[in-house]
Amino acid sequence: MNGRDSSRALDLYRRMLLIRRCEEQLARGHQRGLIHGACHTYVGQEAVAAGVCAQLGAEDVVFSTHRGHGHALAKGVPPRELFAELLGRATGCSRGRGGSMHLFAPEVGLMGTSGIVGPCILQAAGAAYTFKLRADGRVAVAFFGDGAVNNGAFHEGLNMASIWKLPVVFVCENNQFATEVPFSYSAGNPDVASRGAAYGLPGVAVDGNDVLAVDVAAEEAVRRAREGGGPTLLECRTYRTRPHSEGMPDFTYRTREEVEEWKARCPLARLRVKLLEGGTPRNWRRSRRKSRGPSRTPRSSPRKVPGPTRPPRPRTSTRSRGSCPRRPSAPLARSRSCRPPSRR
Amino acid sequence: MNGRDSSRALDLYRRMLLIRRCEEQLARGHQRGLIHGACHTYVGQEAVAAGVCAQLGAEDVVFSTHRGHGHALAKGVPPRELFAELLGRATGCSRGRGGSMHLFAPEVGLMGTSGIVGPCILQAAGAAYTFKLRADGRVAVAFFGDGAVNNGAFHEGLNMASIWKLPVVFVCENNQFATEVPFSYSAGNPDVASRGAAYGLPGVAVDGNDVLAVDVAAEEAVRRAREGGGPTLLECRTYRTRPHSEGMPDFTYRTREEVEEWKARCPLARLRVKLLEGGTPRNWRRSRRKSRGPSRTPRSSPRKVPGPTRPPRPRTSTRSRGSCPRRPSAPLARSRSCRPPSRR
Amino acid sequence: MQATLEALTEEMARDPAIFVLGEGIGKRGGNFRTTAGLYERYGPLRLCDTPICERGFVGLACGAAMAGARPVVDFMFVDFVLDALGEIFNQIAKVQYMSGGRLRMPVLLRGCIGVGHSAATHHSGSYHPLFAHIPGLRVAVPSNPADAKGLLRHALRGHDPVVFLEHRELLGVKGPVPEGDWEIPFGRAAVVRPGKDVTVVALSLMVRHALAACAALEKEGISVELIDPRTVAPLDVDTVLASVRKTGRLLIVDEAFGPFGLGSEIAAQVAERGLDQLDAPIRRLHGAHAPTPYSPPLEAAVAPTAKTVERAIRDLLED
Amino acid sequence: MQATLEALTEEMARDPAIFVLGEGIGKRGGNFRTTAGLYERYGPLRLCDTPICERGFVGLACGAAMAGARPVVDFMFVDFVLDALGEIFNQIAKVQYMSGGRLRMPVLLRGCIGVGHSAATHHSGSYHPLFAHIPGLRVAVPSNPADAKGLLRHALRGHDPVVFLEHRELLGVKGPVPEGDWEIPFGRAAVVRPGKDVTVVALSLMVRHALAACAALEKEGISVELIDPRTVAPLDVDTVLASVRKTGRLLIVDEAFGPFGLGSEIAAQVAERGLDQLDAPIRRLHGAHAPTPYSPPLEAAVAPTAKTVERAIRDLLED
Ligand SMILES: Cc1ncc(C[n+]2csc(CCOP(=O)(O)OP(=O)(O)O)c2C)c(N)n1
Ligand SMILES: Cc1ncc(C[n+]2csc(CCOP(=O)(O)OP(=O)(O)O)c2C)c(N)n1
Ligand SMILES: [Mg+2]
Ligand SMILES: [Mg+2]
């Protein structure tokens, strides 16, 4: 890795780490009864949100699903707003109305996550339609699971995006299960990327646990969208290493061994190895320090999870202040001009 | 053609002729204001219904669309009941409640046509589910247009049928237009048959104006379904030579030349040529005589269309009696054992 | 209606964020000529012919609105858009609330309703009660060209999702339309005709039938006050209550199904807020609670007509 | 509820045409344990895990019923099945009428409704008014295990499509269930508790809240007659009318949205058929007309509670 590559890699690592740390915190918060309802964490899949969102500018938009914390963070939602939301506070990104599954932060391009499987695909196509109408060069991204692939929204959304050449990227996070149902059971053709052909659009499969691979594939797809080349279907093959939703049993439909195997392919660990192989870049320490808020808290004490839920009100508790910096120190939603020239 | 082949060909010809004659009558009835609402005729596409239904037994079932007269007749709905239905009579196959777009004759396996694009695909899969549950060897068929291919019902229905290996045949009649919108515009991939791959099921394209080709392809698909091999997507490439619906303008979205070109590929005329090339089979005359009811009427006088509509009541008018035999003289819904052994 | 086409044409000229989605609304100009001539003027991006995927293009419209456009979905018959109710109820209706108002949802969903033309059961529904039940949606059901134009313009200038339903049998109807740039705000009923003996609330095509009934009854000295709510969400019951205070008698006429319908909602509000004013039971006259049959004589029997409205008014006066 | 599982288990043993479709209803036994243990007994064909395609498997169920099977669609949350309303309203509800009764439609569509557990807006809807508006559908919304079992069994033996909705907060509730092979016919309200001062109609979870309110009021000598309609289509208003004849006062409590809702329909029927019996305006208490928020204190504010029911009864008595 040269200097530019490794600074980019560090940025990706930082995004992933932020997600991982936040999710671990949230999981603890759920265990402690501070977070209510269903809470679907993104642990294991961080490379996808990080890699794709690194290719987006602040003006680009993202639509996501019930498993949306990672996308929100990667797109630049301040962790504090995410935490406040799940704690049910008025300072949450959805003012406490949404919780885990309904995150809205249009000011940073997180247009919404949804508790219904499917709509995000159509909505991303719709935002892309607006961008095309305005010819403003923006790009929309839909993140969705393998489960959504069998839904009519996938079919209708990809087809419309294709015939109108909309600037949209469809990112399927194939983590191989929809709740407990294996994709190999529920899909007549479990090769998601190959399904692009049914709509006349390029389908690309990528190792979703390799953030650099995701980054490269996303760059290509985003460039195609931005340049008027139309949509891409990007299948990121990955795995969630926590249960479908916090508190659910996990080893009835898959084995402990399988989960362990995938844990060994942890996207953070893999990138760390690469980074260390390439020598410790100058800013490696600094970057760790910067994201220390969320990264240290869970280690120091699980009790650092912000206090008990209370009615939404303008302020979050003081205790949460230290652990969740208002904004990630590095601008997560980089503008296009920041892209390393070597990548262009 | 040997004797068996040509008697089979004659059967197919008879089915097509019955449809053509009935449709011409109905079109006239619509022009004269005897038939109300929308009336979508099947003229030009007869080979599809005839070829596919010739492969079905009486116990097999068919689901269809707004353009369903041909399927109804080919599956064995007595022309008299079809006419009565479109005239709004209680003796109609849907008791006058349905009209052109809502034909029900479960007693002959016409399970229903629908004014909504899409549902027939799901319903055929559903009937096939019942057959599989009962292991009774029956087969379900969905007829639908190219327009339905872009609908979520297609996606969801084909996928479910594939993963559960349901005994169903999906027959897409690609007549190249949905109302006035060309399929090449509305489909990211206008090759329908190739879309079977997206669901892991075989997709077969066939000349939908060649009834013998349809017959062969349908035989294979029906056999696969019946033997537990699962669904097939059968794309029949064809053309409707009348307007989308009776009375609509026709040359704004397509040229008169194109229509004439396709008229020259008339499925009836093509088979007639083949039959004559192969020598006039013994039963050729007889067959013409048998189907003379509907075939002669339009020539003898357009006024033979049954009298003015009146409230549904138990009897049809006397005048219609002669022109529409209660049942086609040859059993249209042949049982499987009638299939020519050469075809097995 | 020509009137809504005028409103749409003018608003599209004013606001470049407006675009139309639907089947055959491009070159063809719409199944009901709702977009005739617009394709030539505004091109394929702003008049976008869709594949037959109602859920898909309604969901797309939702995302387009979130990103700042103003989509008009022209769904032809309301029966077709039932396939998109998930997108409408779960997404379009909720986005503004869920985003704390940071996202707007100026989607116009328009199409035809109503029994007629032997269109049979998949081309003759009137589902405004379903939409009106859902928080976050506005529902307009005009009865004449002037209202249609004013309400459509209002819809095209607001921030909320609007379901705009025109009765198919009204599409050809002509009527005076004021000139110029005016709108009709939602939630204001029109007193179509003042009267003192009985209050009739009628919607859409039923307003015409009720007018015919009023004319017939007038000859016998029966004076009917006729009210057209024009929008069913928001629903202006104040105007109805004011009228009932005068007349003491109320009949609601709507072609849509009765149970959980317009008559239920108005009657319930009056029974809560104006019980003392009533001199007789509240009557409702609705379309038959059955799928619409095809055969003309059967079809004629399922929807209220001028005759059945007249009879219902007479019955009410005898109560 | 254990009770519905018993009914389903018994009926599946009796009738081999019954099969269940849904997400995770196979080995997993259903998100709410609605099919626990059935997979082991009846295998994958009769307990069929579906992909996430609500429209698809509801449409498939329609066809399966037409061909003679008796599908049970287990859709988890009613919010999800909104994507399938086209199949339900245009197809399932109409097939029997359109085919002149030659085809039957014994489809059971079941799932959860209701606010609770901070499930937020996509997992907390109660849309029974939508279904009840549509001709051809039957809609059951039980409030206790015995009714749930009896109604479910009835649904599994009839010819009609039934939408069967259980409140999520009732799933864990225990209660006496009679032994043996009995059913509860649709369209018969239960008088949960006789009384003489005021009539309260409550549905589903609201019955429990109302019971708590009754108990509190009883201490002050206020006697409430509590009626549970149990099915909203058909809707038994006769029982309500008989009660109102005694009490002269009526309150309807339903968690679902108010406009075009259960309260509207009951109030309208009473205003038509029992106007003279009323001593006070008819009151309705519904869930807030807004998407269900996530945050516990907000969530607690949108649905009626024992407290708010009690207050509404007091207000009504003062009218
Ligand atoms: C329309 C709809 N049906 C069912 C559900 C219930 N549900 C929530 S998450 C989920 C599985 C989703 O699987 P997938 O899309 O692969 O995403 P993952 O959870 O694996 O990230 C299901 C079935 C839903 N939310 N929406
Ligand atoms: C869901 C739905 N949307 C729209 C329509 C209106 N419509 C009726 S026929 C038709 C075109 C259908 O095209 P295709 O499926 O190719 O069948 P064809 O008419 O060519 O036989 C359309 C759009 C409908 N009936 N249903
Ligand atoms: Mg998954
Ligand atoms: Mg076509």
Strand-pair partners of A77: none
Residue range(s) defining the domain that contains residue A286: 3-296
> Quick one: D33 exposed, middle or buried, by C-beta within 10 A (0-12, 13-18, 19+)?
middle
Residues with Cβ < 8 Å from A201, sequence gap 6 or more?
A: A158, A161, A162, A230, A231, A232, A233, B188
- Banded pLDDT at D1 (limits 50, 70, 90): low
CB contact at 8 A, C97 and C89: no
Q: What is the CATH number of domain C2-170?
A: 3.40.50.970
* Distance of CA B55 from the midpoint of ligand 2 (Å): 26
C283-287 and C250-257: which strand pairing? parallel
Residue C297 has pLDDT above 70, yes or no: yes
CB nearest A188 (choices: B187, B194, B200): B200
Q: What is the pLDDT of residues D88-134, one digit of tens each?
A: 999 999 999 999 999 999 999 999 999 999 999 999 999 999 999 99
* Tally of domains in chain B: 1
Of C51, C67, C95, the CB nearest to A160: C51
Residues 6+ apart with CB under 8 A from A13: A211, A268, A271, A272, A275, A287
Residues counted in chain A = 344
- Dist. CA B322–CA B328, nearest whole Å: 13
Query: Quick one: how far is CA B305 from the chain centroid?
Result: 22
The pLDDT value given to residue D319:
85
The CATH number that domain D190-318 falls under is 3.40.50.920
Mean predicted confidence (pLDDT) in A287-309: 38
Q: What is the CA radius of gyration of chain C?
A: 19
pLDDT tops 70 at residue B279:
no
Q: How far is it, in rounded angstroms, from Cα A150 to Cα A148?
A: 5
pLDDT interval class at C1 (50, 70, 90):
low
Residue C21 contacts residue C56 (beta carbons within 8 Å): no
Tell whether the model's pLDDT for residue C4 goes beyond 80: yes
Residue A285 lies in a domain: yes
Indicate whether A304 pLDDT > 90: no
Total residues found in chain B within this entry: 344
Residue C70 has phi, psi (to 5 degrees) of -130, 85
Q: Please, which pLDDT band fits residue A333 given cuts at 50, 70 and 90?
A: very low
Which alpha helices (DSSP H) does chain B contain, by range?
A: 3-31, 46-53, 69-75, 79-86, 119-134, 152-163, 183-186, 211-226, 256-264, 267-277, 284-290, 292-300, 319-323
Q: Domain map of chain D by residue range?
A: 2-170, 190-318
pLDDT > 80? residue B25: yes
Token pair belonging to D220: 């002050």
Mutate which of D19, D49, D66, D83 to disrupt the B interface (most B C-beta within 10 Å)? D66
> If you average pLDDT over residues D217-234, what whole number do you get?
98
Distance in Å, alpha carbon of D94 to nearest chain C alpha carbon? 6
Helices (H) and strands (E) in chain A, counts: 14, 8
**D89 DSSP 8-state letter:** I
Domain pair D2-170 / D190-318, same fold: yes
Give me the percent of chain D exceeding a pLDDT of 70. Answer: 100
| Minimal Cβ distance to C257: which of D85, D135, D263 | D135
B307 vs D52: which has the higher pLDDT: D52
- Is A121 inside any structural domain? yes
Does residue B307 register a pLDDT over 70? Answer: no
Q: With an 8 Å Cβ cutoff, are A104 and C56 in contact? A: no
Contact D131, D92 (CB under 8 A): no
Does residue B128 lie within any of the structural domains? yes
- pLDDT higher than threshold 90 for residue A323: no
Is residue D157 a contact partner of residue D103, using CB atoms and an 8 Å limit?
A: no
Residue B158 covered by a domain? yes
As for the ipTM of the complex, it is 0.94
Whole-number average pLDDT of chain C: 97
Q: Which two tokens stand for residue A305?
A: 């999870």
In a domain, B310, yes or no: no
pLDDT given for residue A2 in this prediction: 73
Residue-wise pLDDT tens digits, B145-188:
999 999 999 999 999 999 999 999 999 999 999 999 999 999 99
pLDDT at B321: 30
Angle (deg, nearest 10), helices B3-31 and B211-226: 100
* Nearest Cα residue to A161 out of A75, A109, A110, A233: A233
DSSP annotation string for D216-242: HHHTTT--EEEEE-SEEETB--HHHHH
Confidence label for B281 from pLDDT (cuts 50, 70 and 90) = low
Q: Report DSSP state, residue D85.
A: H
Q: Coil, strand or helix: which one is D283? A: strand
Catalytic residues of C: 123
| Gap between the Cα atoms of A223 and A215, Å rounded | 12
The residue with tokens 């885990």 is A100
Mean pLDDT value of segment A17-44: 98
Which pLDDT tens digit goes with each residue over B101-140? 999 999 999 999 999 999 999 999 999 999 999 999 999 9
Of the listed ranges A146-155, B292-301, C256-265, C302-311, the least confidently predicted one is B292-301
pLDDT at D242 over 50: yes
Average pLDDT over residues C256-277: 98
* Contact of A105 with C66, CB cutoff 8 Å: no
Summary mean pLDDT of chain A: 85
Alpha helices, DSSP H, located in A119-235? 119-134, 146-149, 152-163, 183-186, 211-226
User: Over pLDDT 90: what percentage of chain D?
Assistant: 99
Q: Spell out the residues 6+ positions from residue A276 whose beta carbon is closer than 8 angstroms to its own.
A: none
pLDDT attached to residue A71: 98
> Parallel, antiparallel, or unpaired for β D108-113 and D138-140?
unpaired
Query: Which residues on chain A are in Cβ contact (under 8 Å) with C46?
Result: 133
Residue B126 lies in a domain: yes
In the A/D pair of chains, how many CB contacts fall below 8 A? 107
In a domain, B134, yes or no: yes
For residue B234, the one-letter residue type is L
The answer to whether C221 and C227 are in contact (CB under 8 A) is: no
B66: Cβ below 6 Å to ligand 2? yes
CATH number at residue B272: 3.40.50.970
Residues 6+ apart with CB under 8 A from A227: none
Confidence of residue B22 (pLDDT cuts 50, 70, 90): very high
Judged against a pLDDT cut of 50, whether residue B242 lies above it is answered with yes
Q: Would you list the DSSP string of A289-300?
A: HHTHHHHHHHHH
How far does the centroid of ligand 4 lie from the alpha carbon of residue B170, in Å?
A: 15
- Ligand 1 centre distance from Cα of residue D165 (Å): 21
**Which residues in D9-21 are b (16+ Cβ under 10 Å) and which e?**
bebbeeeebbbbb
Select from B76, B52, B63, B171 the least CA-distant residue to B111: B63
Rounded distance between C-alpha atoms, residue C65 and residue C67, angstroms: 5
Q: What is the pLDDT of residues C17-73, one digit of tens each?
A: 999 999 999 999 999 999 999 999 999 999 999 999 999 999 999 999 999 999 999
AA letter at A109:
G
A152 and B152 Cβ atoms separated by less than 8 Å: yes
Instruction: Classify residue A203 by burial, with Cβ atoms within 10 Å: 0-12, 13-18, 19+.
Output: buried
What is the per-residue pLDDT across C132-191, written as a single tens digit (0 to 9) for each?
A: 999 999 999 999 999 999 999 999 999 999 999 999 999 999 999 999 999 999 999 999
Residue in the block written with tokens 């035999």? B325
Q: Is residue B309 part of a domain?
A: no
Residues contacting ligand 1 via CB (< 6 Å): A 66-67, 115-118, 145-148, 175, 177-179, 244; D 23, 52, 54, 76, 80, 83
Categorize the per-residue pLDDT at B277 as very low, low, confident or very high, splitting at 50, 70 and 90: confident
Pairing of strands B140-145, B61-64: parallel
Is the pLDDT higher at A268 or at B332? A268
Chain D contact for A187, CB < 8 A? yes
Say which residues have a Cβ less than 8 Å from residue B40's Cβ, sequence separation at least 6. B66, B67, B69, B100, B101, B244, B245, B246
Contacts of B38 (CB under 8 A, 6+ apart): B66, B100, B101, B245, B246, C119, C123
Please give, rounded to a whole number of angstroms, the shortest distance from the CA of C292 to a CA of chain D.
9
pLDDT value for B303: 35
Secondary structure letter of residue A64 according to DSSP = E
The arithmetic mean of pLDDT across residues A323-334, rounded, is 33
> Which region among A274-283, B147-156, B333-342 has the lowest average model confidence (pLDDT)?
B333-342
What's residue B3's pLDDT? Answer: 75
3-state DSSP of chain C: CHHHHHHHHHHHHHCCCEEEEECCCCCCCCCCCCCCCHHHHHHHHHEEECCCCHHHHHHHHHHHHHCCCEEEEEEEEHHHHHHHHHHHHHHHCCHHHHCCCCCCCCCEEEEEECCCCCCCCCCCCCCHHHHHHCCCCEEECCCCHHHHHHHHHHHHHCCCCEEEEEEHHHCCCCCCCCCCCCCCCCCCCEEEECCCCEEEEECCHHHHHHHHHHHHHHCCCCCEEEEECCEEECECCHHHHHHHHHHCCEEEEEEEECCCCHHHHHHHHHHHHCHHHCCCCCEEEEECCCCCCCCHHHHHHHCCCHHHHHHHHHHHHHC
Strand partners, C73: C21, C109
Q: Is pLDDT at C91 greater than 50 in this prediction?
A: yes
> Would you tell me how many other CB atoms lie within 10 Å of the CB of residue D173?
17
Q: Which residue, B79, B76, B125, is CA-closest to D66? A: B125
- Give the residue on B whose Cα is nearest the Cα of C295: B88
C-alpha angle D144-D145-D146 in degrees, rounded to nearest 5? 95
- Ligand 2 atom with minimal separation from the B66 CA: 9
Residues 6+ apart with CB under 8 A from C200: C210, C213, C214, C224, C225, C226, C227, C250, C251, C252, C253, C309, C313
* Rg, chain B, Cα only: 19
- Pull the structure tokens for residue A40: 């679907």
Close Cβ partners of C282 (under 8 Å, ≥ 6 residues apart): C250, C251, C252, C267, C270, C271, D268, D271, D272, D275
